[in-house]
Protein backbone atom coordinates (compact mmCIF):
# COMPACT_ATOMS: atom_id res chain seq x y z
CA UNK A 1 0.00 0.00 0.00
CA UNK A 2 1.26 3.49 -0.88
CA UNK A 3 -0.18 6.62 0.68
CA UNK A 4 0.30 10.34 0.05
CA UNK A 5 -0.93 13.10 2.36
CA UNK A 6 -1.42 16.59 0.92
CA UNK A 7 -1.84 18.80 4.00
CA UNK A 8 -3.62 22.14 3.66
CA UNK A 9 -4.25 22.10 -0.08
CA UNK A 10 -7.14 24.15 -1.46
CA UNK A 11 -9.51 22.05 -3.63
CA UNK A 12 -10.76 24.25 -6.50
CA UNK A 13 -8.98 27.19 -4.80
CA UNK A 14 -11.35 27.02 -1.84
CA UNK A 15 -10.61 26.56 1.89
CA UNK A 16 -7.49 24.62 2.89
CA UNK A 17 -8.01 21.00 3.82
CA UNK A 18 -6.02 17.78 4.03
CA UNK A 19 -6.27 15.20 1.26
CA UNK A 20 -5.17 11.58 1.61
CA UNK A 21 -4.55 9.37 -1.40
CA UNK A 22 -4.14 5.64 -0.81
CA UNK A 23 -2.97 3.56 -3.76
CA UNK A 24 -4.98 4.80 -6.75
CA UNK A 25 -7.83 6.49 -4.89
CA UNK A 26 -8.69 9.58 -2.87
CA UNK A 27 -9.20 7.98 0.55
CA UNK A 28 -10.08 10.97 2.71
CA UNK A 29 -10.60 14.73 2.56
CA UNK A 30 -10.74 16.89 5.69
CA UNK A 31 -9.95 16.09 9.33
CA UNK A 32 -10.16 12.32 8.65
CA UNK A 33 -7.21 12.48 6.30
CA UNK A 34 -4.48 12.78 8.93
CA UNK A 35 -6.24 10.30 11.22
CA UNK A 36 -6.52 7.71 8.47
CA UNK A 37 -2.99 8.15 7.13
CA UNK A 38 -0.95 4.95 7.51
CA UNK A 39 2.38 5.25 9.31
CA UNK A 40 4.49 5.16 6.16
CA UNK A 41 2.48 7.90 4.37
CA UNK A 42 4.47 10.31 2.21
CA UNK A 43 3.73 13.83 3.49
CA UNK A 44 3.84 16.67 0.96
CA UNK A 45 4.02 19.66 3.29
CA UNK A 46 5.42 21.85 0.51
CA UNK A 47 1.99 21.80 -1.17
CA UNK A 48 0.16 23.49 1.72
CA UNK A 49 -1.89 26.48 0.60
CA UNK A 50 -1.72 25.58 -3.10
CA UNK A 51 -4.67 25.01 -5.43
CA UNK A 52 -5.76 21.40 -5.94
CA UNK A 53 -7.46 20.50 -9.22
CA UNK A 54 -8.48 17.25 -10.85
CA UNK A 55 -5.68 16.16 -13.21
CA UNK A 56 -5.88 18.06 -16.48
CA UNK A 57 -7.07 16.30 -19.64
CA UNK A 58 -5.90 17.52 -23.04
CA UNK A 59 -8.40 16.75 -25.77
CA UNK A 60 -5.92 17.88 -28.46
CA UNK A 61 -2.23 16.91 -28.36
CA UNK A 62 0.23 15.99 -31.09
CA UNK A 63 2.77 13.47 -29.75
CA UNK A 64 4.35 12.88 -33.21
CA UNK A 65 5.24 9.23 -32.62
CA UNK A 66 5.36 7.17 -34.80
CA UNK A 67 7.23 9.01 -37.51
CA UNK A 68 8.02 12.43 -36.07
CA UNK A 69 10.43 11.50 -33.31
CA UNK A 70 12.81 14.36 -34.11
CA UNK A 71 10.10 16.73 -32.86
CA UNK A 72 8.60 14.67 -30.01
CA UNK A 73 8.08 11.15 -28.78
CA UNK A 74 5.26 9.72 -26.74
CA UNK A 75 7.72 9.72 -23.84
CA UNK A 76 8.89 13.35 -24.13
CA UNK A 77 5.46 14.69 -25.01
CA UNK A 78 3.70 12.98 -22.12
CA UNK A 79 6.45 14.03 -19.71
CA UNK A 80 5.85 17.62 -20.84
CA UNK A 81 2.14 17.00 -20.31
CA UNK A 82 2.68 15.82 -16.73
CA UNK A 83 4.82 18.90 -16.01
CA UNK A 84 1.95 21.00 -17.37
CA UNK A 85 -0.43 19.34 -14.90
CA UNK A 86 -2.01 16.79 -17.23
CA UNK A 87 -2.96 13.23 -16.33
CA UNK A 88 -4.46 12.30 -19.70
CA UNK A 89 -4.00 13.38 -23.30
CA UNK A 90 -5.73 12.56 -26.55
CA UNK A 91 -3.00 11.98 -29.13
CA UNK A 92 -3.92 13.24 -32.59
CA UNK A 93 -3.85 10.88 -35.56
CA UNK A 94 -1.55 12.78 -37.96
CA UNK A 95 1.42 10.53 -37.30
CA UNK A 96 3.47 8.53 -39.86
CA UNK A 97 2.02 6.00 -40.37
CA UNK A 98 -1.34 7.58 -39.68
CA UNK A 99 -3.38 6.34 -36.69
CA UNK A 100 -6.07 4.99 -38.98
CA UNK A 101 -6.14 1.33 -37.92
CA UNK A 102 -6.13 -0.75 -34.76
CA UNK A 103 -2.43 -1.63 -35.08
CA UNK A 104 -1.17 1.94 -34.93
CA UNK A 105 -3.51 3.14 -32.17
CA UNK A 106 -2.53 0.11 -30.07
CA UNK A 107 1.14 0.93 -30.65
CA UNK A 108 0.61 4.51 -29.38
CA UNK A 109 -1.38 3.19 -26.42
CA UNK A 110 1.46 0.81 -25.54
CA UNK A 111 4.09 3.58 -25.82
CA UNK A 112 1.96 5.72 -23.52
CA UNK A 113 1.60 2.98 -20.95
CA UNK A 114 5.34 2.25 -21.03
CA UNK A 115 6.18 5.91 -20.55
CA UNK A 116 3.78 6.15 -17.60
CA UNK A 117 3.50 9.94 -17.43
CA UNK A 118 -0.19 10.32 -18.33
CA UNK A 119 -2.97 8.17 -19.72
CA UNK A 120 -2.60 8.29 -23.51
CA UNK A 121 -5.80 7.99 -25.54
CA UNK A 122 -5.06 7.74 -29.25
CA UNK A 123 -7.37 9.62 -31.58
CA UNK A 124 -8.36 7.67 -34.67
CA UNK A 125 -8.22 9.18 -38.15
CA UNK A 126 -11.57 9.74 -39.86
CA UNK A 127 -10.22 8.88 -43.30
CA UNK A 128 -7.63 6.41 -44.49
CA UNK A 129 -4.25 8.12 -44.52
CA UNK A 130 -5.97 11.47 -43.76
CA UNK A 131 -6.66 11.61 -47.48
CA UNK A 132 -10.30 12.60 -47.08
CA UNK A 133 -11.51 9.91 -49.49
CA UNK A 134 -12.48 6.72 -47.66
CA UNK A 135 -13.46 6.17 -44.04
CA UNK A 136 -10.74 4.66 -41.86
CA UNK A 137 -11.25 1.48 -39.85
CA UNK A 138 -13.15 3.46 -37.21
CA UNK A 139 -14.98 0.46 -35.81
CA UNK A 140 -11.83 -1.62 -35.48
CA UNK A 141 -10.14 1.22 -33.61
CA UNK A 142 -13.18 1.70 -31.36
CA UNK A 143 -13.17 -1.98 -30.46
CA UNK A 144 -9.37 -2.27 -30.14
CA UNK A 145 -7.48 -2.18 -26.84
CA UNK A 146 -7.20 1.61 -27.35
CA UNK A 147 -11.02 1.94 -27.16
CA UNK A 148 -10.96 4.96 -29.50
CA UNK A 149 -13.86 7.37 -29.07
CA UNK A 150 -12.45 10.53 -30.63
CA UNK A 151 -11.92 10.56 -34.40
CA UNK A 152 -10.19 13.35 -36.29
CA UNK A 153 -8.26 14.09 -39.46
CA UNK A 154 -6.79 17.07 -37.56
CA UNK A 155 -4.18 18.91 -39.57
CA UNK A 156 -6.59 18.39 -42.44
CA UNK A 157 -10.28 19.21 -42.71
CA UNK A 158 -12.81 16.52 -43.57
CA UNK A 159 -14.00 18.76 -46.36
CA UNK A 160 -16.18 16.31 -48.32
CA UNK A 161 -19.67 16.69 -46.80
CA UNK A 162 -20.63 13.13 -47.74
CA UNK A 163 -17.59 11.68 -45.97
CA UNK A 164 -18.29 13.90 -42.96
CA UNK A 165 -21.89 12.74 -42.86
CA UNK A 166 -20.86 9.07 -43.03
CA UNK A 167 -18.28 9.56 -40.28
CA UNK A 168 -20.85 11.23 -38.01
CA UNK A 169 -23.33 8.42 -38.65
CA UNK A 170 -20.81 5.63 -38.14
CA UNK A 171 -19.39 7.13 -34.93
CA UNK A 172 -22.83 6.96 -33.32
CA UNK A 173 -22.69 3.15 -33.15
CA UNK A 174 -19.83 3.31 -30.62
CA UNK A 175 -20.66 6.67 -28.97
CA UNK A 176 -17.77 8.31 -30.79
CA UNK A 177 -17.27 11.97 -31.63
CA UNK A 178 -15.88 13.55 -34.78
CA UNK A 179 -13.39 16.30 -33.95
CA UNK A 180 -13.16 18.58 -36.94
CA UNK A 181 -10.28 20.79 -38.06
CA UNK A 182 -12.52 23.41 -39.65
CA UNK A 183 -10.61 24.81 -42.60
CA UNK A 184 -12.07 24.97 -46.08
CA UNK A 185 -9.11 23.85 -48.20
CA UNK A 186 -10.10 25.81 -51.30
CA UNK A 187 -10.53 29.08 -49.36
CA UNK A 188 -7.13 28.65 -47.71
CA UNK A 189 -4.90 27.50 -50.56
CA UNK A 190 -1.44 28.92 -49.96
CA UNK A 191 -2.60 30.98 -46.99
CA UNK A 192 -0.02 32.12 -44.48
CA UNK A 193 -1.90 34.06 -41.81
CA UNK A 194 -5.27 35.57 -40.88
CA UNK A 195 -6.79 37.53 -43.76
CA UNK A 196 -7.21 41.11 -42.65
CA UNK A 197 -5.49 44.44 -42.28
CA UNK A 198 -2.18 42.98 -41.10
CA UNK A 199 -1.97 40.39 -43.90
CA UNK A 200 -2.67 43.14 -46.43
CA UNK A 201 0.07 45.32 -44.97
CA UNK A 202 2.58 42.47 -44.87
CA UNK A 203 1.63 41.10 -48.28
CA UNK A 204 1.07 37.60 -46.92
CA UNK A 205 -1.67 35.39 -48.36
CA UNK A 206 -4.73 35.46 -46.09
CA UNK A 207 -6.74 32.69 -44.35
CA UNK A 208 -10.19 34.29 -44.06
CA UNK A 209 -12.41 33.74 -41.03
CA UNK A 210 -15.12 32.46 -43.38
CA UNK A 211 -12.95 29.45 -44.27
CA UNK A 212 -13.42 28.30 -40.67
CA UNK A 213 -16.96 29.53 -40.14
CA UNK A 214 -18.43 27.99 -43.28
CA UNK A 215 -17.18 24.52 -42.30
CA UNK A 216 -18.46 24.88 -38.72
CA UNK A 217 -21.87 26.01 -40.00
CA UNK A 218 -22.06 23.05 -42.38
CA UNK A 219 -20.91 20.59 -39.73
CA UNK A 220 -23.33 21.65 -37.00
CA UNK A 221 -26.14 21.28 -39.52
CA UNK A 222 -24.89 17.83 -40.50
CA UNK A 223 -24.51 16.78 -36.86
CA UNK A 224 -28.03 17.97 -36.15
CA UNK A 225 -29.35 16.19 -39.21
CA UNK A 226 -27.88 12.79 -38.35
CA UNK A 227 -28.18 13.23 -34.56
CA UNK A 228 -24.53 12.71 -33.85
CA UNK A 229 -21.81 14.30 -31.75
CA UNK A 230 -19.50 16.95 -33.23
CA UNK A 231 -16.46 18.50 -31.58
CA UNK A 232 -15.04 21.67 -33.15
CA UNK A 233 -11.28 21.88 -32.70
CA UNK A 234 -9.40 25.14 -32.07
CA UNK A 235 -12.23 27.58 -32.78
CA UNK A 236 -10.68 30.99 -33.42
CA UNK A 237 -13.13 33.62 -34.68
CA UNK A 238 -15.97 35.72 -33.30
CA UNK A 239 -18.18 34.42 -36.10
CA UNK A 240 -17.47 30.80 -35.14
CA UNK A 241 -18.60 31.59 -31.60
CA UNK A 242 -21.89 32.91 -32.94
CA UNK A 243 -22.49 29.73 -34.95
CA UNK A 244 -21.77 27.50 -31.93
CA UNK A 245 -24.11 29.60 -29.80
CA UNK A 246 -26.84 29.22 -32.43
CA UNK A 247 -26.28 25.47 -32.76
CA UNK A 248 -26.41 24.88 -29.01
CA UNK A 249 -29.61 26.90 -28.74
CA UNK A 250 -31.07 24.55 -31.36
CA UNK A 251 -30.10 21.53 -29.26
CA UNK A 252 -27.38 20.31 -31.61
CA UNK A 253 -24.86 18.06 -29.84
CA UNK A 254 -21.74 20.14 -30.45
CA UNK A 255 -18.79 20.97 -28.25
CA UNK A 256 -16.19 23.61 -29.00
CA UNK A 257 -12.55 23.99 -28.09
CA UNK A 258 -10.29 27.02 -27.79
CA UNK A 259 -6.52 26.92 -27.62
CA UNK A 260 -4.39 28.94 -25.19
CA UNK A 261 -2.74 30.79 -28.08
CA UNK A 262 -6.06 31.96 -29.50
CA UNK A 263 -6.89 33.30 -26.03
CA UNK A 264 -3.71 35.33 -25.80
CA UNK A 265 -2.05 36.20 -29.12
CA UNK A 266 -3.18 38.17 -32.18
CA UNK A 267 -2.20 38.44 -35.84
CA UNK A 268 -0.10 41.48 -34.91
CA UNK A 269 2.60 38.89 -34.04
CA UNK A 270 3.07 38.20 -37.75
CA UNK A 271 4.79 41.57 -38.04
CA UNK A 272 7.85 39.85 -36.53
CA UNK A 273 7.92 37.49 -39.53
CA UNK A 274 8.85 34.77 -37.05
CA UNK A 275 7.27 31.41 -37.95
CA UNK A 276 6.93 30.78 -34.22
CA UNK A 277 3.61 32.60 -34.62
CA UNK A 278 2.50 30.54 -37.60
CA UNK A 279 -0.33 28.18 -36.72
CA UNK A 280 -3.58 26.73 -38.05
CA UNK A 281 -6.03 28.23 -37.61
CA UNK A 282 -4.05 31.46 -37.64
CA UNK A 283 -3.80 33.97 -34.84
CA UNK A 284 -6.75 36.30 -35.33
CA UNK A 285 -7.64 39.87 -34.32
CA UNK A 286 -8.03 41.36 -30.85
CA UNK A 287 -11.83 41.32 -31.37
CA UNK A 288 -11.69 37.58 -32.06
CA UNK A 289 -9.55 36.98 -28.96
CA UNK A 290 -12.09 38.85 -26.85
CA UNK A 291 -14.98 36.85 -28.38
CA UNK A 292 -13.19 33.57 -27.62
CA UNK A 293 -12.51 34.63 -24.02
CA UNK A 294 -16.13 35.68 -23.51
CA UNK A 295 -17.37 32.40 -25.01
CA UNK A 296 -15.10 30.36 -22.77
CA UNK A 297 -16.34 32.30 -19.75
CA UNK A 298 -20.03 31.84 -20.62
CA UNK A 299 -19.74 28.16 -21.61
CA UNK A 300 -20.32 28.52 -25.35
CA UNK A 301 -16.79 27.20 -25.71
CA UNK A 302 -16.62 24.01 -23.66
CA UNK A 303 -12.94 23.19 -23.32
CA UNK A 304 -9.40 24.39 -23.73
CA UNK A 305 -7.27 22.05 -25.82
CA UNK A 306 -3.58 22.81 -26.18
CA UNK A 307 -3.11 21.78 -29.84
CA UNK A 308 0.46 21.11 -28.67
CA UNK A 309 2.17 20.89 -32.08
CA UNK A 310 5.92 20.35 -31.72
CA UNK A 311 8.08 20.86 -34.81
CA UNK A 312 11.80 20.27 -35.38
CA UNK A 313 14.02 23.33 -35.15
CA UNK A 314 14.65 23.56 -38.90
CA UNK A 315 10.89 23.85 -39.55
CA UNK A 316 10.76 27.08 -37.55
CA UNK A 317 14.28 28.43 -37.98
CA UNK A 318 13.49 29.84 -41.41
CA UNK A 319 11.55 32.57 -43.14
CA UNK A 320 7.82 32.88 -42.50
CA UNK A 321 6.64 31.30 -45.77
CA UNK A 322 8.76 28.18 -45.30
CA UNK A 323 7.81 27.66 -41.65
CA UNK A 324 5.59 24.86 -40.37
CA UNK A 325 2.20 25.55 -38.79
CA UNK A 326 1.92 24.82 -35.07
CA UNK A 327 3.20 25.72 -31.61
CA UNK A 328 3.93 23.83 -28.42
CA UNK A 329 1.51 24.30 -25.56
CA UNK A 330 1.37 21.61 -22.89
CA UNK A 331 3.63 23.39 -20.40
CA UNK A 332 2.07 26.85 -20.78
CA UNK A 333 -1.66 26.12 -21.11
CA UNK A 334 -2.61 26.45 -17.44
CA UNK A 335 -0.50 29.62 -16.93
CA UNK A 336 -2.22 31.23 -19.93
CA UNK A 337 -5.66 30.34 -18.59
CA UNK A 338 -4.67 31.84 -15.25
CA UNK A 339 -3.40 35.01 -16.95
CA UNK A 340 -6.30 35.50 -19.35
CA UNK A 341 -9.26 34.14 -17.38
CA UNK A 342 -8.58 33.60 -13.66
CA UNK A 343 -6.55 36.68 -12.73
CA UNK A 344 -8.98 39.04 -14.52
CA UNK A 345 -11.85 37.40 -12.60
CA UNK A 346 -13.56 35.88 -15.64
CA UNK A 347 -13.28 32.28 -14.44
CA UNK A 348 -13.09 30.54 -11.07
CA UNK A 349 -10.91 27.52 -10.30
CA UNK A 350 -14.05 25.40 -10.62
CA UNK A 351 -14.41 26.73 -14.15
CA UNK A 352 -10.77 25.86 -14.80
CA UNK A 353 -11.43 22.30 -13.62
CA UNK A 354 -14.43 22.17 -15.93
CA UNK A 355 -12.74 23.38 -19.12
CA UNK A 356 -9.34 21.74 -18.62
CA UNK A 357 -10.39 18.44 -17.04
CA UNK A 358 -14.04 17.49 -16.57
CA UNK A 359 -15.51 18.38 -19.96
CA UNK A 360 -12.58 17.13 -22.05
CA UNK A 361 -12.82 13.80 -20.21
CA UNK A 362 -16.55 13.66 -20.88
CA UNK A 363 -16.16 14.45 -24.59
CA UNK A 364 -13.61 11.62 -24.87
CA UNK A 365 -15.79 9.30 -22.75
CA UNK A 366 -13.17 8.74 -20.06
CA UNK A 367 -14.56 7.40 -16.81
CA UNK A 368 -11.48 7.64 -14.60
CA UNK A 369 -10.37 11.17 -15.48
CA UNK A 370 -11.95 14.59 -15.02
CA UNK A 371 -13.68 13.37 -11.89
CA UNK A 372 -14.70 15.51 -8.90
CA UNK A 373 -12.31 15.96 -5.99
CA UNK A 374 -14.12 13.57 -3.66
CA UNK A 375 -13.51 10.47 -1.58
CA UNK A 376 -13.52 7.30 -3.66
CA UNK A 377 -12.53 9.09 -6.86
CA UNK A 378 -9.31 8.27 -8.76
CA UNK A 379 -6.14 9.95 -7.53
CA UNK A 380 -5.59 12.03 -10.66
CA UNK A 381 -4.57 15.37 -9.21
CA UNK A 382 -2.78 18.58 -10.08
CA UNK A 383 -1.44 21.02 -7.52
CA UNK A 384 -0.71 24.52 -8.79
CA UNK A 385 0.94 27.52 -7.15
CA UNK A 386 -0.81 30.52 -8.72
CA UNK A 387 1.50 33.04 -7.04
CA UNK A 388 4.64 31.98 -8.91
CA UNK A 389 5.50 34.09 -11.95
CA UNK A 390 7.97 32.66 -14.44
CA UNK A 391 9.58 33.82 -17.66
CA UNK A 392 9.12 31.18 -20.36
CA UNK A 393 12.47 29.69 -21.40
CA UNK A 394 12.15 27.36 -24.40
CA UNK A 395 15.34 25.55 -23.42
CA UNK A 396 13.99 24.81 -19.93
CA UNK A 397 10.88 23.03 -21.21
CA UNK A 398 10.45 19.27 -21.22
CA UNK A 399 9.04 18.92 -24.71
CA UNK A 400 11.65 17.91 -27.27
CA UNK A 401 10.79 20.93 -29.43
CA UNK A 402 11.47 24.64 -29.01
CA UNK A 403 8.61 26.19 -30.92
CA UNK A 404 6.91 28.02 -28.09
CA UNK A 405 5.56 31.45 -29.03
CA UNK A 406 5.86 32.60 -25.40
CA UNK A 407 9.66 32.75 -25.01
CA UNK A 408 10.60 35.63 -22.72
CA UNK A 409 7.01 36.21 -21.65
CA UNK A 410 6.25 36.26 -17.92
CA UNK A 411 3.31 34.00 -17.04
CA UNK A 412 1.65 33.24 -13.71
CA UNK A 413 1.28 29.85 -12.07
CA UNK A 414 3.37 26.73 -11.79
CA UNK A 415 2.29 23.14 -11.43
CA UNK A 416 4.17 21.90 -8.38
CA UNK A 417 2.82 18.34 -8.28
CA UNK A 418 0.88 15.95 -10.48
CA UNK A 419 -0.49 12.58 -9.37
CA UNK A 420 -1.50 9.91 -11.88
CA UNK A 421 -3.73 7.21 -10.40
CA UNK A 422 -2.25 8.00 -6.99
CA UNK A 423 1.39 8.01 -8.09
CA UNK A 424 3.39 11.26 -8.24
CA UNK A 425 4.63 12.05 -11.76
CA UNK A 426 5.71 15.61 -10.88
CA UNK A 427 7.02 16.85 -7.53
CA UNK A 428 8.59 20.24 -6.74
CA UNK A 429 7.68 21.23 -10.30
CA UNK A 430 9.93 18.56 -11.83
CA UNK A 431 9.12 15.21 -13.44
CA UNK A 432 9.69 12.18 -11.22
CA UNK A 433 11.59 9.59 -13.24
CA UNK A 434 9.90 6.27 -12.52
CA UNK A 435 12.44 4.00 -14.13
CA UNK A 436 15.82 4.17 -15.78
CA UNK A 437 15.77 7.01 -18.31
CA UNK A 438 14.48 5.66 -21.59
CA UNK A 439 16.81 5.62 -24.57
CA UNK A 440 14.25 7.67 -26.49
CA UNK A 441 13.81 10.18 -23.68
N1 LIG B 1 -2.17 23.49 -35.44
C2 LIG B 1 -1.23 23.43 -36.35
O3 LIG B 1 -0.87 24.48 -36.91
N4 LIG B 1 -0.60 22.29 -36.66
C5 LIG B 1 -0.94 20.97 -36.23
C6 LIG B 1 -2.12 20.42 -36.95
C7 LIG B 1 -3.43 21.04 -36.54
O8 LIG B 1 -3.78 21.09 -35.36
O9 LIG B 1 -4.17 21.47 -37.40
C10 LIG B 1 0.26 20.06 -36.45
O11 LIG B 1 0.09 18.83 -36.45
O12 LIG B 1 1.39 20.57 -36.57
ZN1 LIG C 1 -6.10 21.35 -36.48
ZN1 LIG D 1 -3.93 19.90 -33.90
What CATH number matches the domain at 3-51+377-390+409-431, 1.10.3720.10, 2.30.40.10, 3.40.50.620, 3.20.20.60?
Answer: 2.30.40.10
Condensed to tens digits (0 to 9), the pLDDT of residues 163-174 reads 999 999 999 999
Check whether 438 has a pLDDT greater than 80: no
* Partners of residue 418 on adjacent β-strands: 382, 426
Q: Which of 64, 94, 231, 328 to mutate to test the pocket of ligand 1 (most atoms within 8 A of CB)?
A: 94
Identify the nearest ligand to the CA of 64 by its number: 1
Listed range (212-216, 328-332, 436-440) with the worst mean pLDDT: 436-440
Check whether 439 has a pLDDT greater than 80: no
Condensed to tens digits (0 to 9), the pLDDT of residues 223-244 reads 999 999 999 999 999 999 999 9
434 pLDDT tier (thresholds 50, 70, 90): confident
**Among candidate residues 105, 95, 174, 178, the one with its CA nearest the CA of residue 135:** 178
| Distance from C-alpha of 226 to C-alpha of 232, rounded to nearest angstrom | 16
Closest atom of ligand 1 to 234 CA is 8
Nearest-CA residue for ligand 1 atom 4 is 326
What's the average model confidence in pLDDT over 198-219? 98
Percent of the chain with pLDDT over 90: 98
Is position 311 annotated in a ligand binding site?
yes
- Is the distance from the beta carbon of residue 195 to the nearest atom of ligand 1 less than 6 Å? no
433 pLDDT tier (thresholds 50, 70, 90): confident
Closest atom of ligand 1 to 156 CA is 9
Identify the nearest ligand to the CA of 307 by its number: 3
How much is the pTM? 0.98
Provide the pLDDT for residue 250: 98
3-state secondary structure 56-119: EEEEEECCCCCCCCCCCCHHHHHHHHHHCCEEEEEECCCCCCCCCCHHHHHHHHHHHHHHCCCE
440 pLDDT tier (thresholds 50, 70, 90): very low
* Partners of residue 304 on adjacent β-strands: 258
Condensed to tens digits (0 to 9), the pLDDT of residues 125-145 reads 999 999 999 999 999 999 999
Alpha carbon of 295 to ligand 1 centroid (Å): 22
**Among candidate residues 260, 275, 357, 263, the one with its CA nearest the CA of residue 308:** 260
What's the average model confidence in pLDDT over 173-200? 98
Provide the pLDDT for residue 435: 59
Q: Which of 98, 132, 280 to mutate to test the pocket of ligand 1 (most atoms within 8 A of CB)?
A: 280
Give the mean pLDDT of the chain: 97
Is position 134 annotated in a ligand binding site?
no
What's the average model confidence in pLDDT over 383-411? 98
Catalytic positions, written as ranges: 307
| Architecture of domain 54-363 in this structure | Alpha-Beta Barrel (3.20)
Provide the pLDDT for residue 268: 98
Every domain of the chain and the residues it spans = 3-51+377-390+409-431, 54-363
Check whether 210 has a pLDDT greater than 60: yes
Provide the pLDDT for residue 254: 99
Identify the nearest ligand to the CA of 279 by its number: 1
Provide the pLDDT for residue 322: 97
Provide the pLDDT for residue 415: 98
Amino acid sequence: MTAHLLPGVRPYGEDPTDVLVIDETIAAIGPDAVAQAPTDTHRHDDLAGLVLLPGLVDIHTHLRQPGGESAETVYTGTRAAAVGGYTAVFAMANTTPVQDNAGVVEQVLRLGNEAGWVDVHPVGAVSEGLKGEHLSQMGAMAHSAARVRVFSDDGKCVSDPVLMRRALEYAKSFDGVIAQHSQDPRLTEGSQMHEGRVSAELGLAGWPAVAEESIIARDVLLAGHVGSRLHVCHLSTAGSVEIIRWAKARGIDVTAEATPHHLLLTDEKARTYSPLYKVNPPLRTAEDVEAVRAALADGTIDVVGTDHAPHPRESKDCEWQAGAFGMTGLETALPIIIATMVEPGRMTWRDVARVLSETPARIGRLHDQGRPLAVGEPGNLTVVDPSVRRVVDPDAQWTRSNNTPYAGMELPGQVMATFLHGRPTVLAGRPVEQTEPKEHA
